[in-house]
Structure formats: C-alpha cells, structure tokens
C-alpha cells in the first residue's frame, strides 16, 4: 500500500488512467513517432498558410491569425491530461516562491511538492480532488458561511454529505468547533475530509498567525490522537489578497510534513492570482510526508498523478493548451508578474479601506453586523433585522444594485455579500447607504405582514 492509498475514497482507489487513446498519444508524442493515435487532423503546409507538403496540425485561418506570434504546436494540439510540462513546472515554482515569501529566488518547499495537475479552474481542481477522497454519503466538513459551489461540487455532484462547521466565534476562527468536528468524524470513520478557504468567501476573513498555526496543530493532533487519516483541502482561490496585518499565504504550507497521516491538498489557479477570469486554468498539488523517504514518495506521486489524471480525463479530457502556454511564459518572470499585479492590489486595498469606513456610519451600524474581513473580494453583512433576500430584491429593482443574499430571516444566516472589489471606490459609500436602507425597509415590510 502506497503513501497515498489510505487517504483515498473507494472511488479514488478505483480511478486509474486506462491504456487508451490519451495514454498512447502522449507516448507517441514523447517518442517522436509517426502519430496515428489521436483524433486530430493534420494537413500539408500549403493548406495552412505555408509552403510545401510537410504536415502540421490543422487550423482555421482566423484562429491562426489570432495566435500569429506563437508556434502552432503551442496552441492547437491537445495538452497532456495532467497539463503541459512547462505550466506544471512553472506553477510548482510559483507555489514554492509563495511559500518562501519572495519571488526573486526558488523556495525550499518546491522540491517537496508534486507536480501540479492542470484542471478547469479552481472549481475543477476541487471537483477532481473531491472525487479522489469522497464517496457518496461521506461527510465533508466545510465552513457554515461558505461558497455555494461546495454544495454543488461535493454535495450534488460527488454525493458527499456537506457538514457545516461554524467558522467564526465572534471575531475569531472557531477553532474549538473545528477540533470537535474533526475528532468526531475521525473517530467514527477513521478518515476525515475538510475544506478551508482563506481569504474566505463570502466573509473575507483571514486567520491570524496564531489561528493558522493552531489549526495546523489541531489537524496533526487529530491524526495522532485517533490514528485517522486527515485530508485538508486548501481552497486557495484568493491567496495573496490580504489587506490587513494577517498571514498573506496559504495554510497549505504549514500543513506539509506536519504528520504522516495528514494529507494537505492545494487547489488554486490563475483566475484571481493572475487576474485571468476566463482562462479557466487551475491546479491540484500535494506533498507526501518527508518521513516516507524518497522512494515511497516517488511511488505515491506516480499514483497521485495517475489517479487525478484519470478523473480529469473523465471530466474535461485536458485543460486548454494555449492558456497553459501563455501562463507558462508569464511564470518565467514571477517577480515581474507580482510587480504588474501590485497596482491592482493597491486599488483593492483602497476599496477595502473605503468599505471599512462606510460600515462605520451610524446607518450601517444600525443595519448590519459585519463579519470581520481582512482580504479577498468580499464583506458579509449580517442583518440586524429584516430579510436578506427581500433586501437584495429591493436593491436590484430600485437603485439597480446587484448583491448576493445568504440565507434569510428565520435561517441560520441572514446576510448580504458585498463584492466591493467590483465597485469603484467613490461608489462604495452610496452602495452601503442604499443597502442599509433596503435592509431597514425589508424589516418594515416583514413587520407589516
């Protein structure tokens, strides 16, 4: 049994790449063979805007013109199921640099990481990993305030049982609640899967240094105390977007090598990190405990790649080739990427600060009880009274402001998520005034009925 196998669901253990078209096609490509494997079309250069009879991969003129600066082989072929080598090595280097806190040199964690598996966005990474570690009916622990994609991906699609755990105890992470939830499932089932997401969607909460370190210790303690396998999925969609004195980088880095029965899995991507919303390129990465030794880790990494690739193959075939090519080229200059992103992050800091000021007004304090928010793109405003759904409808039909209601009166959650990252700084104050008025009016309307 490998280092990976005990962490897997029954479905994960059954996942393997068949000796089929994609496997033989990738073998042919590596061997430089005459390739009669893949369902693609080649044509002589004379039909592709060139001269002669040498064959290249077929494409339409309009598409060739859009990618005129690139080699056709960087654009048109299928990417390998796990992703192009240049993207995978570049993204692993990027993760390692973040772990080291600097982008001018390689990070020491890099050599401990598996090569990332390319997926269709961060959602695709979560879906693939969910299939790997969750069977239908399995519990998966998630924050009670959560992105609704967890219910869709883990619940509706994977068939797991989404179990909410209270995120906040006042202004702090409810770590004792998480400890109890992890221990409960670990003792009952011998294996526990949880999801952490910071900066958090929908609240924007970021744990303190003390909280982050405590969670890593709790995860290892559960593995040690119960003898269970602990799987922590780090949804790092908003990694790096922190505007307060809080740790900037993922919990994942603290979990690597924490305990041999603890498997951290990092799900991230280019959507927010590289501001490429439509690129739909994500990655799934893990690291096996150093105590296993290099041979056992290499065997586990091979198994990891085979099983996750099998799931990706079944879901999407493979991620976009031209997007991977572009990102791999950008990742050749990570310091330049960070420098290019900084003015945009500075703009978000301004909006975060303006949002904080707007929520300090008398009207906002009367209407809302905001959860603490330190980063990401959002703030979650709990209504002091009224109904979140009615308030959101009123805002959309009246001043034509779109926000997302979470829950509603009578539920565990009755709040409005404000994505201040999409709002010009000079309009945030007016948005909060309008939202507070809508919340008050929804309370009056309820009282009248």
- CATH assignment at residue 95: 3.40.640.10
Closest by CA to 218, choosing from 258, 278, 190, 249, is 258
Domain final residue, candidates 332, 347, 370: 332
Contact residues for 280 (Cβ-Cβ < 8 A; gap 6+): 120, 121, 124, 271, 319, 320, 323
How many CB atoms are closer than 10 A to CB 422?
10
H or E stretch at 77: none
Q: Is the CB of residue 259 less than 8 Å from the CB of residue 219?
A: yes
376 and 291, same domain (yes or no): no
Rg of the chain in Å (alpha carbons): 24
Q: Is residue 377 located within the same domain as residue 264?
A: no
Give the CATH number for residue 410: 3.90.1150.10
270 and 342 in a single domain? The answer is: no
In a domain, 28, yes or no: no
Any domain includes 59: no
Q: Which two tokens stand for residue 179?
A: 């400890």
Same-domain pairing of 346 and 279: no
**CA distance between the termini of the chain:** 63
Same domain, 116 and 223: yes
Bridge partners (DSSP) of residue 161 are 139
Q: DSSP string covering 200-217, please?
A: -TTT-----HHHHHHHHH
Q: Is residue 65 part of a domain?
A: no
Closest CA to 218 of 269, 165, 149, 267: 165
Helices (H), 151-208: 175-189
Q: What are the phi and psi torsion angles at 86 (to 5°)?
A: -70, -40
Provide the whole-model pTM: 0.94
Strands 282-286 and 262-269: antiparallel
Task: Give the span between the Cα atoms of 195 and 141, in whole angstroms.
Answer: 6
How far apart (Å, rounded) are the C-alpha atoms in residues 417 and 420? 9
- What Cα–Cα distance (Å) separates residue 242 from each residue in 24, 299, 347, 448? 45, 37, 12, 42
Do 258 and 232 contact (CB within 8 A), yes or no?
no
Range of the domain at 439: 338-448
Same domain, 326 and 415: no
Residue 23 in domain: no
Place of tokens 């009207």: 363
- On whether both 315 and 368 belong to a single domain, the answer is no
Chosen domain end from 332, 347, 374? 332
Token pair recorded at residue 320:
């976009």
Considering the domain boundaries, does residue 297 fall inside one?
yes
Asked if residue 251 and residue 384 are part of one domain, the reply reads no
Number of domains in the chain: 2
Residues 373 and 427 in one domain: yes
100, containing H or E segment: helix 85-100
The answer to the question of residue 304 being in a domain is yes
Residues 208 and 313 in one domain: yes
CA distance 45 to 59: 11
Element (DSSP H or E) covering residue 156: none
Are residue 250 and residue 344 in the same domain, yes or no?
no
Position 105 scores a pLDDT of 83
Whether residue 32 lies inside any domain: the answer is no
Is residue 93 situated within a structural domain? yes
| 8-state DSSP, 116 | P
Where do the DSSP E strands lie in 238-376? 262-269, 282-286, 368-370
d(CA 204, CA 340): 23
Query: Residue 449's pLDDT is what?
Result: 47
Residue 445 has what pLDDT? 56
pLDDT at residue number 135? 97
φ and ψ of 234, to 5 deg: -95, 105
Q: What is the DSSP letter of 266?
A: E
The pLDDT tens digits along the chain (449 residues) read 799 999 999 999 999 887 888 888 888 888 988 778 777 878 898 888 888 888 888 888 998 998 999 999 999 999 999 999 999 999 999 999 999 988 888 889 999 999 999 999 999 999 999 999 999 999 999 999 999 999 999 999 999 999 999 999 999 999 999 999 999 999 999 999 999 999 999 999 999 999 999 999 999 999 999 999 999 999 999 999 999 999 999 999 999 999 999 999 999 999 999 999 999 999 999 999 999 999 999 999 999 999 999 999 999 999 999 999 999 999 999 999 999 999 999 999 999 999 999 999 999 999 999 999 999 999 999 999 999 999 999 999 999 999 999 998 777 899 999 999 999 999 999 999 999 999 999 976 555 44
Residues 406 and 327 in one domain: no
> Given 278, 298, 332, which residue is the final one in a domain?
332
């Amino acid at each position: 049994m490998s280092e990976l196998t005990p962490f897997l669901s029954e479905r994960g253990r059954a996942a393997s790449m068949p000796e089929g078209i994609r496997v033989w096609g990738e073998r042919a490509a590596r061997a430089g063979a005459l390739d009669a494997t893949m369902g693609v079309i080649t044509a002589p250069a004379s039909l592709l805007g060139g001269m002669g009879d040498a064959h290249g991969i077929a494409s339409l003129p309009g598409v060739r013109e859009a990618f005129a600066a690139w080699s056709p082989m960087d654009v048109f072929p299928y990417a390998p199921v796990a992703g192009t080598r240049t993207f995978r090595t570049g993204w692993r280097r990027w993760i390692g640099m973040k772990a080291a806190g600097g982008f001018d040199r390689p990070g020491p964690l890099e050599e401990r990481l598996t090569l990332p598996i390319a997926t269709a966005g961060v959602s695709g990474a979560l879906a693939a990993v969910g299939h790997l570690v969750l069977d239908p009916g399995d519990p998966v622990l998630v924050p009670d305030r959560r992105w609704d994609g967890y219910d869709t991906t883990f619940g509706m699609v994977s068939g797991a049982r989404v179990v909410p755990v209270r995120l906040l105890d006042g202004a702090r992470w409810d770590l004792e609640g998480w400890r109890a939830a992890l221990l409960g499932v670990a003792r009952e089932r011998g294996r526990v899967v949880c999801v952490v997401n910071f900066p958090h969607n929908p609240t924007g909460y970021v744990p303190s240094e003390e909280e982050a370190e405590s969670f890593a210790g709790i995860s290892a303690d559960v593995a040690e105390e119960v003898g269970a396998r602990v799987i922590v999925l780090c949804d790092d969609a908003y990694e790096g977007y922190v505007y307060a004195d809080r740790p900037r980088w993922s919990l994942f880095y603290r979990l690597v090598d924490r305990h041999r029965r603890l498997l951290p899995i990092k799900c991230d991507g280019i959507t927010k990190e590289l501001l490429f919303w439509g690129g739909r390129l994500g990655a799934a990465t893990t690291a096996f405990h150093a105590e296993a030794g290099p041979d056992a880790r290499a065997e586990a990494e091979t198994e990891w790649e085979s099983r996750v690739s099998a799931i990706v193959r079944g879901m999407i075939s493979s991620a976009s080739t031209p997007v991977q090519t572009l990102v791999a080229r950008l990742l050749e200059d990570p310091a330049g990427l960070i420098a290019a992103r900084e003015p945009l992050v500075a703009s978000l800091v301004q909006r975060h600060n303006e949002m904080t000021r707007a929520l300090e007004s008398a009207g906002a304090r009367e209407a809302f009880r905001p959860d603490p928010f330190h980063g990401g793109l959002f703030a979650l405003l709990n209504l002091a009274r009224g109904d979140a759904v009615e308030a959101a409808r009123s805002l959309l039909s009246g001043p034509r402001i779109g926000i997302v209601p979470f829950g509603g009166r009578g539920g565990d959650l009755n709040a409005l998520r404000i994505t201040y990252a999409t709002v010009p700084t000079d309009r945030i104050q007016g948005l909060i005034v309008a939202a507070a008025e809508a919340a008050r009016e929804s309370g009056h309307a309820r009282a009248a009925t």
